[in-house]
Amino acid sequence: MTKKQRIEEKIKMLENGITATEQMTDEDCAEIYGIPKETCLINLQTALGKAKAELRMAHLDSLTGVDKVITGIAFSHIISVEQRGDLETRMKDDDDFFEVAVWEIKEALTAAYEAGRKSK
Protein backbone atom coordinates (compact mmCIF):
# COMPACT_ATOMS: atom_id res chain seq x y z
CA MET A 1 0.00 0.00 0.00
CA THR A 2 1.42 3.38 -1.00
CA LYS A 3 1.61 6.39 1.30
CA LYS A 4 -1.15 8.05 -0.71
CA GLN A 5 -3.41 4.98 -0.34
CA ARG A 6 -2.78 4.86 3.43
CA ILE A 7 -3.74 8.52 3.76
CA GLU A 8 -6.86 8.02 1.60
CA GLU A 9 -7.85 5.11 3.87
CA LYS A 10 -7.31 7.29 6.95
CA ILE A 11 -9.54 9.99 5.43
CA LYS A 12 -12.33 7.47 4.80
CA MET A 13 -12.12 6.22 8.39
CA LEU A 14 -12.22 9.75 9.79
CA GLU A 15 -15.20 10.66 7.58
CA ASN A 16 -17.00 7.51 8.75
CA GLY A 17 -16.13 8.40 12.35
CA ILE A 18 -17.58 11.87 11.92
CA THR A 19 -20.78 10.46 10.40
CA ALA A 20 -21.14 7.93 13.23
CA THR A 21 -20.42 10.52 15.92
CA GLU A 22 -22.95 12.97 14.48
CA GLN A 23 -25.63 10.30 14.91
CA MET A 24 -24.73 9.62 18.55
CA THR A 25 -26.32 11.24 21.56
CA ASP A 26 -24.21 13.31 23.94
CA GLU A 27 -24.43 10.47 26.46
CA ASP A 28 -23.17 7.90 23.93
CA CYS A 29 -20.19 10.09 23.09
CA ALA A 30 -19.33 10.59 26.74
CA GLU A 31 -19.50 6.84 27.33
CA ILE A 32 -17.56 5.78 24.21
CA TYR A 33 -15.02 8.59 23.83
CA GLY A 34 -14.95 9.98 27.35
CA ILE A 35 -15.39 13.53 26.05
CA PRO A 36 -18.36 15.68 25.02
CA LYS A 37 -19.78 15.13 21.53
CA GLU A 38 -18.90 18.66 20.41
CA THR A 39 -15.26 18.19 21.45
CA CYS A 40 -15.11 14.82 19.72
CA LEU A 41 -16.43 16.26 16.45
CA ILE A 42 -13.95 19.13 16.61
CA ASN A 43 -11.10 16.65 17.17
CA LEU A 44 -12.25 14.45 14.28
CA GLN A 45 -12.62 17.46 11.93
CA THR A 46 -9.14 18.66 12.89
CA ALA A 47 -7.67 15.22 12.22
CA LEU A 48 -9.52 15.07 8.89
CA GLY A 49 -8.14 18.45 7.88
CA LYS A 50 -4.60 17.31 8.72
CA ALA A 51 -5.05 14.08 6.76
CA LYS A 52 -6.33 15.99 3.72
CA ALA A 53 -3.31 18.31 3.94
CA GLU A 54 -1.04 15.22 4.11
CA LEU A 55 -2.74 13.86 1.00
CA ARG A 56 -2.21 17.13 -0.87
CA MET A 57 1.47 17.12 0.06
CA ALA A 58 1.86 13.47 -0.93
CA HIS A 59 0.32 14.30 -4.30
CA LEU A 60 2.54 17.36 -4.72
CA ASP A 61 5.64 15.31 -3.80
CA SER A 62 4.80 12.80 -6.53
CA LEU A 63 4.86 15.48 -9.24
CA THR A 64 7.90 16.83 -11.08
CA GLY A 65 8.89 19.85 -13.14
CA VAL A 66 6.24 22.21 -14.41
CA ASP A 67 3.39 20.07 -13.03
CA LYS A 68 4.82 20.41 -9.53
CA VAL A 69 5.21 24.19 -9.84
CA ILE A 70 1.72 24.72 -11.31
CA THR A 71 0.03 22.47 -8.74
CA GLY A 72 1.95 24.13 -5.90
CA ILE A 73 0.80 27.55 -7.10
CA ALA A 74 -2.80 26.33 -7.39
CA PHE A 75 -2.70 24.83 -3.88
CA SER A 76 -1.24 28.04 -2.46
CA HIS A 77 -3.54 30.53 -4.15
CA ILE A 78 -6.81 28.84 -5.13
CA ILE A 79 -8.73 27.51 -2.13
CA SER A 80 -11.06 25.24 -4.13
CA VAL A 81 -8.08 23.49 -5.77
CA GLU A 82 -6.44 22.99 -2.39
CA GLN A 83 -9.64 21.45 -1.02
CA ARG A 84 -10.00 19.24 -4.10
CA GLY A 85 -6.45 17.98 -3.74
CA ASP A 86 -5.27 17.92 -7.36
CA LEU A 87 -5.58 19.36 -10.85
CA GLU A 88 -6.55 16.11 -12.54
CA THR A 89 -9.50 15.97 -14.94
CA ARG A 90 -12.23 13.72 -13.53
CA MET A 91 -14.64 13.89 -16.48
CA LYS A 92 -17.45 15.04 -14.19
CA ASP A 93 -18.71 18.61 -14.38
CA ASP A 94 -19.32 18.88 -10.63
CA ASP A 95 -15.66 18.01 -10.01
CA ASP A 96 -14.03 19.73 -12.98
CA PHE A 97 -15.82 23.10 -12.89
CA PHE A 98 -15.98 25.18 -9.72
CA GLU A 99 -16.12 28.82 -8.69
CA VAL A 100 -12.86 30.66 -8.18
CA ALA A 101 -12.59 34.20 -6.86
CA VAL A 102 -10.96 36.71 -9.20
CA TRP A 103 -8.36 37.63 -6.57
CA GLU A 104 -7.36 33.95 -6.33
CA ILE A 105 -6.88 33.84 -10.10
CA LYS A 106 -4.84 37.05 -9.99
CA GLU A 107 -2.63 35.72 -7.16
CA ALA A 108 -2.09 32.40 -8.96
CA LEU A 109 -1.24 34.09 -12.28
CA THR A 110 1.14 36.49 -10.54
CA ALA A 111 2.87 33.58 -8.78
CA ALA A 112 3.14 31.70 -12.09
CA TYR A 113 4.61 34.76 -13.78
CA GLU A 114 7.15 35.20 -10.97
CA ALA A 115 8.08 31.51 -11.07
CA GLY A 116 8.67 31.76 -14.81
CA ARG A 117 10.71 34.92 -14.42
CA LYS A 118 12.90 33.33 -11.71
CA SER A 119 13.50 30.21 -13.78
CA LYS A 120 15.27 32.14 -16.55
Break the chain into its structural domains and give their ranges: 1-62, 64-120
Q: How far apart (Å, rounded) are the C-alpha atoms in residues 58 and 70?
A: 15
Q: Is 114 left (phi over 0), alpha (psi -120 to 50) or beta?
A: alpha
pLDDT tens digits for 13-35? 999 999 999 999 999 999 999 99
The pTM (predicted TM-score) of the whole model is: 0.63
Q: How far apart (Å, rounded) are the C-alpha atoms in residues 67 and 88?
A: 11
pLDDT tens digits for 96-113? 888 888 998 899 999 999
Helix/strand/coil for 25: coil
Contacts of residue 51, defined as CB under 8 A and 6 or more positions apart, other chains included, come to 7, 10, 11, 14
Tell me what pLDDT residue 66 has: 86
